[in-house]
Chain A
Amino acid sequence: MMTPDDLKALQEYNFVLEYEDNAGKIYVSSSEEMFICEIKEPYMPIEDFKNLLLQKGLLMKDHPCKKFIFDKREISGFHQPSMEWYYVVWKPKMQEKFGLSVHRKLFTKDAWFRKSVEAGRAEIRKKYPDSPCHQMDVKVMNTIREAILN
């Protein structure tokens, strides 16, 4: 859930809600050329996850995007095949089509979950060592403001 400071940052940097469904919301700032995708549920089935990110892809046709902020703080469990698709299909596709290679992420502070994310990433690296996703500028941030600014 967005904090008051996150919401304030959204306003300050002209983010507008462009898409919403049961799974999440997508905010776009044309002035900053950034997208924020906020996940609303602790767990997302692969179809919902794919749909949300495909919606984002569609929005990028009309709005240029230099940086993608993925707010996954609500997520407490993930589906590894969804993550694989996100890393080795969606991300390279977005880079190829729109030049998007800057990703910022927000996770729950739960140490176990963070370890699982690390494990998931290591698994993807092992399985797809040559994927361009490993060369991208990816950082984990703590707040929306921090993610916008860094």
Chain B
Amino acid sequence: MTSEDIEVLKLIKRLLEKESNSTSQTSRKEGDGQEKSLQSTNYIEDLKNKIDLLQEQLSSRIEMIKMTLQYVEEEKNQGEYTLNSPLVVSPSSNIEYSNLIEESFFHSEKRLKNFYPHSFVIQNNRDNNMGGFVYIKDENRMLYMISVIYSKPSQEFLLLSVLIKKALDDFFDATHKKDTLMIWGYLNQKIYQWLGGKQSPEKNNIHVSVTAIHWQESSVSFVGNDMSACLVSNGSIEDIPTPDVEIGRTKDIPPSLTKHTYRLEKGMHIYLASSQLIAIIKDQEEDKWTSFRQLIKESSNWQSEHRRQEFEHFLQKCYAKNSSQHSDFFLINLEI
């Protein structure tokens, strides 16, 4: 039963109603003999029954479609639920384990450049067991970029990166329809499970963001905890807002809060920064924040390597002046 079928049924109903009205009017006007009047009455009655039947048929089919769509949706969600069973990665050797870690944790920039060659990732961490990584997926003219940052060192995070990468691979294989909230919710649940529940203080040290660039709709969706994003176009900066989310908390968020329409063009930039990075810059005595925004604007037409060097230079200066507890940062530049 397609929507066209429903439209046809509606049309038939309208035609019958019209015919029924016109017959009853003609019958009233002509005032013919009793037999003709009886014929008309029967005819109208017959038409009314047909309309009732069509009406019932139409409502039943609409209900049937609604019920089926809901069922399909539930089925799909159950499919996602099975994805959420605790993930276990069982490397057969230490070499395989270190390969998995390297693949998931250490090749963010390489992955980014596969899709957008003029992009870069800059990060500074006081410990090798912290930092962040970027996962990229390109599907049907949509680019999904997921970043995960650990703001405190823990050897467990390296394992978590392997699990998250595996979870995302499974997610993209198994789910046809995706959006940023769905991916964020999925990772939230996955990490929450892994941490063993709400009590874990580690949840405050994990920051996840999901960015989706939808070329066909000319939109960017963004959701992330302790992450900021902006879009740079023709020398102007537009912040990309995110709804308020945190690891371990689930709440219904309307998709309109994540999806923003822009006039996307080649050569635009998207920047994603960790909250630590913003804190470092804002902590400076001089008005470094304005300088940073200015650098973002001015550098949009520079060669990517030059742009990267300037950002590194700028951030190193801020880093040198800062106390060690604020020395970690993560910055992604995506030239689309």
Point out residues on A near B: beta carbons under 8 Å. Answer: 43, 45, 76-80, 112-113, 115-116, 118-120, 122-123
Contacts and interface: CB of A to CB of B under 8 A. Distances in A.
B8 to A, nearest CB: 13
Interface string B54-69: 0011001101110110
Contact of B57 (A43, A116, A122): A43
B72 interface: yes
Contact of A77 (B61, B70, B72): B61
Sorted nearest first, the 7 A-B pairs with minimum C-beta distance are A119-B71, A79-B60, A116-B68, A119-B68, A77-B61, A43-B57, A119-B67
B320 interface: no
A118 B67 CA distance: 10
A79 B1 CA distance: 13
Contacts of B70: 119
B4 to A, nearest CB: 13
19 contacts: A43-B57, A45-B53, A77-B1, A78-B60, A78-B64, A79-B60, A80-B63, A80-B64, A112-B1, A115-B68, A115-B71, A115-B72, A116-B64, A116-B65, A119-B67, A119-B72, A120-B64, A120-B67, A123-B67
Nearest to A115: B68
A118 B64 CA distance: 11
Classify the secondary structure of B's interface with A.
Answer: helix
Given A45-B53, A45-B56, A112-B1, A77 B71 contact: no
A123 B70 CA distance: 10
A113 B64 CA distance: 9
Nearest to A46: B56
Contacts of A79: 56, 60
Contacts of A80: 60, 63-64, 67
B60 A76 contact: no
B5 to A, nearest CB: 9
Contacts of B71: 115, 118-119, 122-123
B57 A77 contact: yes
B300 to A, nearest CB: 49
